[in-house]
Structures are given as structure tokens and as C-alpha cells.
């Protein structure tokens, strides 16, 4: 296994496979793509490029459904922001590498005391490896979808 590729930051942004996004969008009906580039934005409203999603006070002004496939070197910041946005009545769905040993996983996703996701958090492990963007090969890492739900939906 080439761990140099798996853990390098040489490739930091991974364009979401359209069919994978479409299945999530069918369920969540996304209003905002909070981590995109002009060539791979999945929603009419998107942040990235000239608009730094992490610097915005909020990703939406009304309760919204937000999709996030962040640059993977910024998972901690984006996952923290996603959790904060869910507390503002937004549903935030994140596609990230399945790195269950990381600080962001334990601070925002997993409750080690109860051995389950934190309240309002749903974890969906992706079977197999995704083929991001126009890649001919699968990603060198497993992926996970993390759903942060607003407090009233989390009950």
C-alpha cells in the first residue's frame, strides 16, 4: 500500500462523484455546496474560490440543507463549522475520509463515552472506495458521510 499517497497533502481536493451526490441530493435536497470550486460546484449557491466558507458567519440565512466535501487538509475546521451550522437549524451533510483516529472525529462526531455518534450526528460509512472527479482509479482511502442535524430533528 502506498501510504505516502494516502497521507500526503499533494491532492487535497476531491471532486464528488456526480452519481454519489445525486443519491444524497435526492434525500436531502441541498441548497448550498459549502466547499466547491467553479468547475465542481454541486448547487446553485456555493462557496469556495473567492468566498472562504470558513470565514462566513453563516452558510445560509434560512434553515437549509448544506453539502460539504471539504479540502481534506481542513477537515477539522470544516467539521467544526458544520456542527456549528447544524445548531443554527441547518442540516449539514459532509463527505470526508473515514479517519476515525483524528481529533476532529472525536471532538465533533464520535462520543467515546457512549461508543456511538454524538447527539444529532449520523454516521454512514461508504462501502468500497469512491472514484472522485474524473479519476480512473478509486481513492486511496475509505470515505464516510456525516450528517449533522438541527437540534429539533436530532431527537
Q: What is the pLDDT of residues 79-96, one digit of tens each?
A: 999 999 999 999 999 999
Task: Give the CATH H-level superfamily of domain 12-154.
Answer: Vaccinia Virus protein VP39 (3.40.50.150)
Asked if residue 12 has pLDDT above 80, the reply is no
Using a pLDDT cut of 70, give the percent of the chain over it.
90
Give residue for cell 469512491.
Answer: 130
User: What is residue 154's predicted lDDT score, i.e. its pLDDT?
Assistant: 55
pLDDT at residue 155, as a whole number: 52
pLDDT value at residue 5: 39
Query: What Å distances lie between residue 90 and 13, 41, 70, 123, CA to CA?
Result: 24, 19, 17, 17
Of the candidates 60, 102, 109, 63, which has an alpha carbon nearest to the alpha carbon of residue 83? 109
Distance between the two ends of the chain, CA-based, in angstroms? 42
Question: What's the Cα-to-Cα distance from 38 to each of 63, 120, 124, 153, rounded to whole Å?
Answer: 24, 31, 27, 32
Would you list the domain boundaries of the chain?
Answer: 12-154
Inform me whether the pLDDT recorded for 135 exceeds 90: no
C-alpha cell at 95: 463527505
Amino acid at each position: 500500500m502506498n501510504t505516502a499517497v494516502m497521507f500526503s497533502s499533494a491532492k487535497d481536493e476531491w471532486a464528488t462523484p456526480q452519481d454519489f451526490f445525486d443519491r444524497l441530493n435526492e434525500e436531502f435536497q441541498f441548497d448550498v455546496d459549502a466547499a466547491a470550486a467553479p468547475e465542481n460546484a454541486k448547487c446553485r449557491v456555493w462557496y469556495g474560490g473567492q468566498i472562504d466558507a470558513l470565514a462566513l458567519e453563516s452558510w445560509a440565512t434560512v434553515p437549509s440543507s448544506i453539502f460539504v466535501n471539504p479540502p481534506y487538509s481542513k477537515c477539522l475546521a470544516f467539521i467544526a463549522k458544520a456542527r456549528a451550522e447544524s445548531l443554527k437549524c441547518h442540516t449539514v451533510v459532509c463527505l470526508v475520509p473515514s479517519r476515525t483516529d483524528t481529533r476532529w472525529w472525536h471532538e465533533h462526531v464520535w462520543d467515546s463515552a457512549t461508543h456511538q455518534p454524538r447527539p444529532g450526528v449520523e454516521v454512514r460509512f461508504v462501502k468500497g472506495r469512491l472514484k472522485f472527479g474524473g479519476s480512473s482509479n478509486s481513492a486511496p482511502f475509505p470515505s464516510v458521510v456525516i450528517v449533522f442535524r438541527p437540534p429539533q430533528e436530532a431527537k
